[in-house]
Amino acid sequence: MKVGFIGLGTMGYPMAGHVAAAHDLVVWNRTASVADRHAEEHSSLAAHDLAGLADRDVVVTCLPTSADVDEIADRLGPLLARGSVWVDATSGDPEVARLTATRLTERGVAYVDAPVSGGSTGASAGTLTVMCGGSTDDIDRARPVVECWAGRIVRVGDIGAGHAVKAVNNALLAVALWSAGEGLAALAKAGVDVTAALEVINASSGRSNATVTLIPDRVVSRAFPNTFSLPLLVKDLGIAVGVATRAGVDARVLRLAAERFGTALERLGDVDHTAALRVLEEDAGVEIR
Ligand code: NDP
């Protein structure tokens, strides 16, 4: 298949690498040197102009926000052939994505939202969980490409449903991370050994990905490697709150998580999402270690 990939960041770069191994791939990145590096490393072809993707059967976007995707779709959509498919792997906003999809569909380009979960490790391994929104037919047409980076592909509903599920998933991650941080800060201040507490919690009912992986690997170690940035998590929380509000659900815990991580973003800027716990630590006067 002729595939185009737009957005070679932490996630997109390795995802596109898997596509290059199976399909005829043209890559485009806002910073062109990254596309050139990808072409050299993965034998893809680097386009320095979006028009270089006009003949693609499938176009993939993996950008920070739906607004970024919408802007690119406005430029590239009119150049694509009828019958092509746009696969949006961005963690996006269902409302904005539906507007983008409508404009693409009017031009005969199908749209599938296909955000991913599994982080940079899953992207490198090609084992991401993909949640798809769109028609079964369109998802099936995109499947040979999506399979390149997926360990699991689940259709969760119509256009926008993938983005909604992704936002809620990440809101759950945020709640688990922050609440585990509060609990462990309290234990540390009370004189309990954090590593021993985590050993117990991770063999008990309070465990989560935050306690099993994120807090030991990133917070207790003080490494805080920036592989999933705090601005992106704050964006996802805003989308999740929007999904809940539109559905008429009183999601006050999600709203509080959005507020806490939003404050951390104001104080810390562009750091790894786990570094948000530093704000909690500063306020409590203790380190989770
Ligand atoms: P990065 O910040 O690492 O990469 C963003 C990419 O988008 C870069 O290629 C960047 O280009 C490009 N870009 C940014 N703004 C624009 C724009 N206005 N127009 C065109 N290109 C633009 O992000 P990630 O790879 O971490 O995340 C991508 C998406 O995947 C996000 O929606 C995120 O929420 C989601 N995600 C991230 C995960 C993670 O662990 N990091 C896990 C699962 C989902 P340039 O090189 O020029 O900066």
Q: How far does residue 255's CA lie from ligand 1's centre (Å)?
A: 24
Question: DSSP assignment, residue 77?
Answer: G
Residues within 6 Å of ligand 1 by CB: 7-12, 29-31, 34, 62-64, 68, 90-91, 116-117, 119-120, 227-228, 232
- Give the model confidence (pLDDT) of 78-95 as tens digits: 999 999 999 999 999 999
pLDDT of residue 121: 97
> In the prediction, which pLDDT does 58 show?
98
Best mutation site among 11, 96, 130, 172 for ligand 1 pocket (most ligand atoms within 8 Å of CB)? 11
Question: Residue 269: what pLDDT?
Answer: 98
Give residue 53's pLDDT band: very low, low, confident or very high (50, 70, 90).
very high
pLDDT band at 254 (very low <50, low <70, confident <90, very high): very high
CATH pick for 2-158 out of 3.30.1300.10, 3.40.50.720, 2.20.28.120, 2.40.30.10:
3.40.50.720
pLDDT tens profile 177-190: 999 999 999 999 99
Domain residue ranges in the chain: 2-158, 164-284
**Which CATH number among 1.10.1040.10, 3.40.1280.10, 2.10.109.10, 1.10.1060.10 corresponds to the domain 164-284?**
1.10.1040.10
Q: What is the pLDDT of residue 40?
A: 98
Angstrom distance (rounded) from CA 135 to CA 91: 19
Interval between CA 273 and ligand 1 midpoint (Å): 14
DSSP 158-221: STTHHHHHHHHHHHHHHHHHHHHHHHHHHHHHTT--HHHHHHHHTTSTT--HIIIIIIIIIIIT
Q: How many Å lie between the centroid of ligand 1 and the Cα of residue 45? A: 20
Work out the widest C-alpha separation in the chain, in whole angstroms: 65
pTM for the structure as a whole: 0.98
Pocket-testing residue among 15, 30, 88, ligand 1, by greatest number of atoms within 8 A of Cβ = 30
32 CA to middle of ligand 1, Å?
14
User: Which residue numbers are catalytic?
Assistant: 166
